[in-house]
Chains A and B, each alone.
Chain A
Amino acid sequence: MGRHNNRVILLTCSAALILILLSTGQYGATSQGVGYIREGYHVFDKIISAPFVFVADIWSTYIGLVNTSRENRELRLRNDRLKVRSMILDELKSENRRLRAMLDFKEAHRELSLIPANLLSQDITLIFKTAIIDRGSKSGFHVDMPILSPDGVVGKVIAVSPHTSQILLITDPNSAIPAHIESTRVKGIIKGRGGNLLTLEYVRKAEDVKIGDSIVTSGLLNVFPSGLKIGTVVEVRRDVNQMFADIIVKPYVEMDKIEGIFGIAQDMEASD
């Protein structure tokens, strides 16, 4: 019994000593054994749970794929909607810019009574440069009415019906408008050439005409009010055998991109 007691005491003391040693020892050194246990547990857990994880993975991936596919579809739809909305916004922005330019132009030309219109179609032939607009006699449009855009002179009305008008663009070979050079007041006639350029005719060679000179309407014939911008001189040729200079003018208005235009009402033309 005494021997047995001694052993118990010895074991208790040894256990206490080990516990004391463990509690006072360095963490790394003492946790190594515990670490092996954790590692063992981890391996055990992996082995045991592997089949369940495998099944769960398949299930969740499948469900996930279904969700992803649905989500993808929704996102694509949303993306398409956003694209369309962005396109509409771009168009609205461009329209806003155009309308603002038209409004600014109208504000700047308060003395003119301007009737807005839009282009419907262009000439059916390659050579002639006419266009059809969506306003006619019911809106106050009439033959010989000047047509402008915020950039400058577009042309004049040559035929009207109640709701449409045909306009002769300044680039048409039949178009001729009295004009002058803004800086020097040298007068001439602006004529269309069929393409995108114009010519300023009947200007003597001796006159001072330079590249970059601005051409405006002279107001003669009482069709166009004076001072409306037509174009800028891009080329001047002086042939010794010719009496007049050959002056090529680029119109300010890009005839291929006309959108918003104005007709000048008759009462204001009379004031010219």
Chain B
Amino acid sequence: MLKIWKLQISLLGIFCAAILVEISIIPSLWAPLRVDFLIGLIIGQVIFIPFYQGFSFVVLASLMMEAFSGARIGLIPLLYVALYLATDLLKEVIYLENVYVQAVLGVLFYFVLAGSTAMITGTSFLGDMIVPLVAGMVLTGLVSPFMARLVGRLQTSYGLREL
């Protein structure tokens, strides 16, 4: 049991580092670009971690994200929890362990999150937002399988799963 929480704390630590990359390093390279690292972690949680633990992780991680966003309180956790539940349902339908499926889900979820946020705030994707949106989708698609795999690797290194 202790190992499981150690794993989750490690994942939260990794997510903190990912937040730093997301809000400081990536915008310093290209200000409008955002890459979502949490989507990959959510996919990894759904594949490798029991539901209740994954759920707690998603709630905690999305609450941490709130601190770095101008979104109304509760909006980001709401979206990510919905995403987690949707992924958990998809687990029964599609083979989530496949790297390509994870990449496609990364792209799709990024678009869904950006689209739903835009819809809630009444913003439309204008000309100058399309390019960063597409770039963000592609990069999130590339990063997601790595993040999902990271969850599995950590689980293995903590001895919670055999290779």
A and B form one complex? yes
A residues at B contact (CB < 8 Å): 120-130, 132, 158, 166, 168, 172-174, 193-197, 255-257
Interface flags for B81-122 (1: CB within 8 Å of A; 0: not) read: 000000000000000000000000000000001100110011
| B147 CB-CB contact with A under 8 Å | no
Bound state CA distance, A216 and B42, in angstroms? 45
Additional pairs, 10, CB under 8 Å, beyond known A121-B24, A122-B27, A173-B121: A122-B24, A123-B70, A124-B34, A126-B117, A127-B121, A158-B70, A168-B70, A174-B121, A194-B123, A197-B126
| B128 CB-CB contact with A under 8 Å | yes
Q: Total A-B pairs in contact (CB under 8 Å)? A: 79
| B9 CB-CB contact with A under 8 Å | no
Shortest CB-to-CB span from A66 to chain B, Å, is 44
Q: Indicate if the CB atoms of B19 and A126 lie closer than 8 Å.
A: no
Shortest CB-to-CB span from A158 to chain B, Å, is 7
Q: Indicate if the CB atoms of A194 and B129 lie closer than 8 Å.
A: yes
| B60 CB-CB contact with A under 8 Å | no
Q: Indicate if the CB atoms of B126 and A193 lie closer than 8 Å.
A: yes
Q: Indicate if the CB atoms of A126 and B71 lie closer than 8 Å.
A: no
Q: Indicate if the CB atoms of B121 and A194 lie closer than 8 Å.
A: yes
Bound state CA distance, A158 and B70, in angstroms? 8
B residues at A contact (CB < 8 Å): 19, 22-24, 27, 31-32, 34, 65, 68-71, 76, 113-114, 117-118, 121-124, 126-129, 132-133, 136
Bound state CA distance, A126 and B27, in angstroms? 11
Q: Indicate if the CB atoms of B129 and A120 lie closer than 8 Å.
A: no
Q: Indicate if the CB atoms of B70 and A172 lie closer than 8 Å.
A: yes
- The closest CB in chain A to the CB of B32 belongs to A256
In the assembled complex, which residues on chain A have CB atoms less than 8 Å from the CB atom of B117? 125-128
Q: Indicate if the CB atoms of A128 and B69 lie closer than 8 Å.
A: yes
With A130-B69, A166-B70 given, is the CB distance from A124 to B23 under 8 Å?
Answer: yes
In the assembled complex, which residues on chain B have CB atoms less than 8 Å from the CB atom of A121? 23-24, 27, 68
Q: Indicate if the CB atoms of B31 and A122 lie closer than 8 Å.
A: yes
Which 3 residue pairs of A and B lie closest in terms of their CB atoms, listed nearest first?
A130-B70, A256-B31, A194-B123
Q: Indicate if the CB atoms of A197 and B70 lie closer than 8 Å.
A: no
Q: Indicate if the CB atoms of A129 and B129 lie closer than 8 Å.
A: no
Q: Indicate if the CB atoms of B126 and A195 lie closer than 8 Å.
A: yes
Bound state CA distance, A255 and B27, in angstroms? 11
Bound state CA distance, A124 and B68, in angstroms? 6
Shortest CB-to-CB span from A259 to chain B, Å, is 11
Q: Indicate if the CB atoms of A174 and B70 lie closer than 8 Å.
A: yes
Q: Indicate if the CB atoms of A173 and B123 lie closer than 8 Å.
A: yes
Point out the residue from A124, A172, A257 that lies within 8 Å of B31, measured CB to CB.
Answer: A257
Point out the residue from B22, B24, B70 that lies within 8 Å of A128, measured CB to CB.
Answer: B70
Bound state CA distance, A144 and B121, in angstroms? 21
In the assembled complex, which residues on chain B have CB atoms less than 8 Å from the CB atom of A173? 121-123
With A128-B117, A174-B70 given, is the CB distance from A255 to B31 under 8 Å?
Answer: yes
With A194-B123, A195-B129 given, is the CB distance from A124 to B118 under 8 Å?
Answer: no
Bound state CA distance, A231 and B73, in angstroms? 30
Shortest CB-to-CB span from A203 to chain B, Å, is 19
- The closest CB in chain B to the CB of A155 belongs to B70
Bound state CA distance, A174 and B32, in angstroms? 17
In the assembled complex, which residues on chain A have CB atoms less than 8 Å from the CB atom of B128? 195-197
Shortest CB-to-CB span from A211 to chain B, Å, is 18
Point out the residue from B32, B65, B124, B127 that lies within 8 Å of A124, measured CB to CB.
Answer: B65
Q: Indicate if the CB atoms of B23 and A194 lie closer than 8 Å.
A: no
In the assembled complex, which residues on chain B have CB atoms less than 8 Å from the CB atom of A126? 32, 34, 114, 117, 129, 132-133, 136
Shortest CB-to-CB span from B19 to chain A, Å, is 7
Q: Indicate if the CB atoms of B31 and A125 lie closer than 8 Å.
A: no
Bound state CA distance, A256 and B129, in angstroms? 13
Give the one of A127, A132, A196 with max B CB within 10 A.
A127
In the assembled complex, which residues on chain B have CB atoms less than 8 Å from the CB atom of A194? 118, 121, 123-124, 126, 129
Shortest CB-to-CB span from A120 to chain B, Å, is 7
Bound state CA distance, A173 and B71, in angstroms? 10
Bound state CA distance, A174 and B121, in angstroms? 8
A-B contact pairs, 7 of them (CB 8 A): A123-B23, A125-B71, A125-B76, A127-B121, A128-B117, A174-B121, A196-B128
